[in-house]
Amino acid sequence: MPTVDQLILSKSVPNERIGITDTNMKTRTTLWIAVLGAVAFTLSACNRYSAESTEGWVIDADTKKPIEGVIVVAEWQLHKSTVGGRIPADHLNIMETLTDGNGLYYFERWGPRSAQWGFFIDRDPALLFYKERYKYHSLQNPLRSEIDNSKVRRSVWNGKTIELKRFEGDLKDYASHLSFLHTSMRSILYGDKCEWKRIPKLVLAIAKQENIFRKNNVYNVLTSLDDISGYKCGSAEEYFKSMQTKN
């Protein structure tokens, strides 16, 4: 004797013979859709994050005077679990700004936003400070004994003064120093969602420095505008030209 499930899957047996009407089928389908929708909503709600505002000051390490025009990038990167451990995933947010005449930078609060894939650990936001002829500087929240699962993200560097030190050395030394900057920014510069468009000031500054190295025959691994151009994001040069036209 076939089971009810087998009869349901059989195209040769009408629904009426097993006591299932079109109305019952529609009711069950609607119920399943509602259940799946509720589950999806719950999962989305569990991964909704926001961030507090972050501000600080940047000064010269030697003169202690404020530095104007420092490019500051804030990065909130999600992670995902794999067999080999946690690895970086998508970015929930990326912000960029410049320091003013007082060396002040400011990122406004944001959120809540849903993280469809991935989760935060305890280092976000990562902060990057760049100014030509200075040593670039990066900061993260310190490691903790337990992962910070809070839904409101905050930086321990909020309200702090950051010192940048002028780079001492020739162009070859500077190119070597900035190679580490290139490595730390790869997930943004070469992301498959054109994340580099979120940090136009830094992209142009890096491209300018790469051009200086190239003209002086100094080997470097910095990213040029051609490097980040592609079929997904289009021409970086044309993108920045269009931005200048709009402004």
Same domain assignment for residues 73 and 130: yes
**Residue 77: Cβ within 10 Å count:** 20
Same domain assignment for residues 179 and 163: no
Contacts of 66 (CB under 8 A, 6+ apart): 57, 58, 59, 60, 99, 101, 102, 103, 104
Q: What is the pLDDT of residues 83-108, one digit of tens each?
A: 777 767 788 899 999 999 999 999 99
Tokens 């280092």 appear where? 123
In a domain, 1, yes or no: no
Q: What is the pTM of this model?
A: 0.78
Same domain assignment for residues 153 and 88: yes
Q: Can you read off the two tokens belonging to residue 188?
A: 């943004």
Q: What is the pLDDT of residues 199-208, one digit of tens each?
A: 999 999 999 9
Q: What residue type is 131 in one-letter code?
A: K
Q: Check residue 129 and give its pLDDT.
A: 98
Across the chain, what does the average pLDDT equal? 83
In a domain, 162, yes or no: yes
Structural domain containing residue 33:
14-44
Average pLDDT of span 50-60: 97
Q: Check residue 4 and give its pLDDT.
A: 41
- List the single range of 58-67, 101-110, 134-143, 195-204 with lowest mean pLDDT: 134-143
Same domain assignment for residues 124 and 140: yes
In a domain, 8, yes or no: no
Q: Check residue 124 and give its pLDDT.
A: 85
In a domain, 7, yes or no: no
- The better pLDDT of the pair 130, 44 is held by 130
In a domain, 233, yes or no: yes
Name the nearest CA neighbour of 203 among 211, 213, 215, 214: 211
CB burial of residue 92 (10 Å; 0-12, 13-18, 19+): buried
Asked if residue 180 has pLDDT above 80, the reply is yes
Alpha helices in 47-158 (DSSP H): none
54-60 and 160-164 beta bridge pairing: parallel
Domains in the chain, number = 3
